[in-house]
């Protein structure tokens, strides 16, 4: 079993770095909600981790099929089905990755722009998948000569034998994509009212996040079949949206949304977002609100080639430019962890862990379990635990979805021999 491991010396040095959140190295105070690194707990024995499949290459998302198999998009450009080798066995029963096989699905994808974060991205099965066989997949696309084109969501139909997928339609096109292949976001999730939610990145462009007529750096809310805005979206309801893009937006001013989670029993939408050199964020989405990301500094910075310089000068939530911008519910301070997918643990089997917000991290290579107290805008993240079982045990952790058995399933994203993992409460 090949895993990524780090030495005790490296862990010790990281430990020192991760405690420096009271005031980051730039002298900036952390935003409201930040919990110091040395105030995180590090539990042991509360969860059990099982390797379900291996041999993946940056599995970006997870879809549970009615057959019991699992559909996984791999970032370099493959869509794959994970299935048990033994007839009659279920993925939920697997105890060793040698018991599963990974089979590629035949699919005529547009040419992916595979660079940095680019390639196949988030995926979601439609609520009526058992009948329609439809799923929607995000991906970056390239022009015929290999240059960046756009990020788009395409709806596909999976064959009953799970061997091929045929295109249904381009659901949404034109999300911004820069030549670096960074800040691509694109996490689709079913919303609290059964709608389709999509978290997007700013595409490494200076002015997209604050432009409501651009789909980058937003949370979108649309119809599953048409990709069109819903009538109660904020700028549809008040009549101010003049473009189809603006109609789809429910929040803006985001840098790079990686996770979208609905809190069980509520209509609350929570997101996880990459920061710069500081302040990965957990946000509670308030429809119609600005979350304050603007590397153009109010339009003052216009040289796109200097994006990397300008963005580190910009706070994640710029209260000087946007006094009404919404503060994060939690932030890492400095350094960042590269927070990724987010989902709430649901079900009595989780015991004391039920209701925790589970968040993966890439650079930090760990799972966060966050305690959320209160409701709506009064809610707070009051505690953060990093289980030792998933603290630098594997490579980067990316996808997080709840399986039909109620367990938490994760993917690793080291780029070579990546895993599908099952996480359950320890007995």
Share of the chain above pLDDT 70, in %: 91
Q: Is residue 389 part of a domain?
A: yes
Q: What pLDDT is attached to residue 31?
A: 53
Q: Is residue 1 part of a domain?
A: no
User: Which SS3 state, helix, strand or coil, does residue 231 take?
Assistant: coil
Q: Decide if pLDDT at 297 tops 80.
A: yes
The H or E element spanning position 246 is helix 244-248
Q: Is residue 195 part of a domain?
A: yes
- 163 Cβ contact partners less than 8 Å away, ≥ 6 residues apart: 103, 105, 106
Angle at 396 (CA atoms; ends 45, 95), nearest 5 degrees: 50
Angle at 91 (CA atoms; ends 87, 94), nearest 5 degrees: 90
Q: What pLDDT is attached to residue 226?
A: 98
For the ranges 25-39, 232-246, 373-387, the lowest mean pLDDT is seen at: 25-39
Q: Decide if pLDDT at 278 tops 70.
A: yes
State the Rg of the chain over Cα: 20
Q: What pLDDT is attached to residue 125?
A: 98
Q: Is residue 124 part of a domain?
A: yes
* Number of domain units in the chain: 1
Q: What digits encode the pLDDT tens for the residues 42-70? A: 999 999 999 999 999 999 999 999 999 99
Of 250, 111, 108, nearest in space to 189 by CA: 250
Q: What pLDDT is attached to residue 33?
A: 52
Task: Provide the pLDDT confidence category of residue 395 given band limits of 50, 70 and 90.
Answer: confident
Q: Is residue 34 part of a domain?
A: yes
* Distance of alpha carbon 163 from alpha carbon 27, whole angstroms: 54
User: Which SS3 state, helix, strand or coil, does residue 310 take?
Assistant: helix
Q: Decide if pLDDT at 170 tops 50.
A: yes
Give the burial class of 95: count Cβ atoms within 10 A of its Cβ; 0-12 exposed, 13-18 middle, 19 or more buried. exposed
Q: Is residue 3 part of a domain?
A: no
Q: What pTM was computed for the model?
A: 0.92
* Distance of alpha carbon 135 from alpha carbon 376, whole angstroms: 30
Q: Is residue 2 part of a domain?
A: no
417: alpha, beta or left, given left = phi > 0 and alpha = psi -120 to 50? Answer: left
Q: Is residue 200 part of a domain?
A: yes
Domain span including residue 59: 8-425
CATH code at position 384: 2.120.10.30
């Amino acid at each position: 079993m090949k895993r990524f491991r780090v030495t005790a010396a490296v862990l010790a040095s990281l430990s020192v770095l991760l405690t420096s959140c009271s005031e980051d190295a730039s002298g900036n105070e952390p935003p409201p909600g930040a919990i110091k690194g040395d105030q995180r707990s590090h539990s042991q024995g509360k969860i059990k981790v099982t390797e379900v499949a291996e041999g993946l290459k940056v599995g970006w998302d997870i879809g549970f099929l009615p057959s019991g198999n699992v559909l996984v998009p791999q970032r370099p450009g493959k869509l794959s089905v994970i299935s048990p080798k033994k007839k009659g066995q279920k993925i939920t029963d697997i105890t060793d990755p040698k018991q599963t096989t990974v089979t590629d699905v035949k699919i005529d994808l547009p040419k992916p722009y595979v660079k940095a974060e680019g390639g196949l991205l988030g995926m979601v099965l439609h609520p009526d998948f058992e009948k329609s066989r439809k799923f929607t997949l995000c991906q970056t696309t390239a022009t015929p000569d290999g240059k960046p084109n756009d990020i788009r969501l395409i709806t596909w139909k999976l064959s009953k034998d799970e061997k091929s997928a045929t295109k249904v339609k381009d659901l949404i096109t034109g999300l911004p994509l820069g030549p670096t292949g960074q800040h691509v976001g694109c996490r689709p999730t079913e919303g609290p009212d059964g709608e389709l939610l999509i978290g997007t990145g700013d595409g490494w462009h200076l002015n997209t996040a604050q432009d409501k007529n651009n789909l980058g750096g937003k949370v979108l809310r649309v119809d599953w079949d048409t990709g069109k805005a819903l009538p109660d979206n904020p700028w549809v309801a008040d009549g101010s949206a003049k473009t189809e893009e603006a109609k789809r937006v429910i929040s803006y001013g985001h840098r790079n949304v990686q996770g979208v989670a609905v809190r069980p029993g509520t209509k609350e939408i929570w997101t996880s977002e990459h920061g710069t050199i500081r302040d990965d964020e957990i946000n509670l989405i308030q429809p119609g609100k600005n979350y304050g990301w603007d590397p153009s500094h109010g339009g003052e910075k216009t040289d796109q080639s200097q994006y990397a310089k300008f963005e580190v000068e910009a706070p994640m939530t710029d209260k000087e430019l946007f006094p009404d911008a919404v503060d994060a519910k939690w932030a890492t301070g400095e350094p960042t962890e590269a927070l990724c997918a987010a989902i709430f643990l649901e079900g009595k089997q989780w015991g004391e862990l039920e209701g925790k917000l589970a968040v993966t991290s890439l650079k930090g290579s760990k799972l966060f379990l966050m305690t959320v107290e209160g409701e709506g805008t009064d809610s707070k993240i009051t505690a953060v635990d990093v289980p030792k079982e998933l603290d630098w045990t594997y490579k980067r952790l990316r996808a997080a979805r709840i399986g039909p058995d109620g367990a938490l399933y994760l993917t690793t994203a080291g780029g070579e021999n990546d895993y599908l993992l099952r996480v359950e409460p320890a007995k």
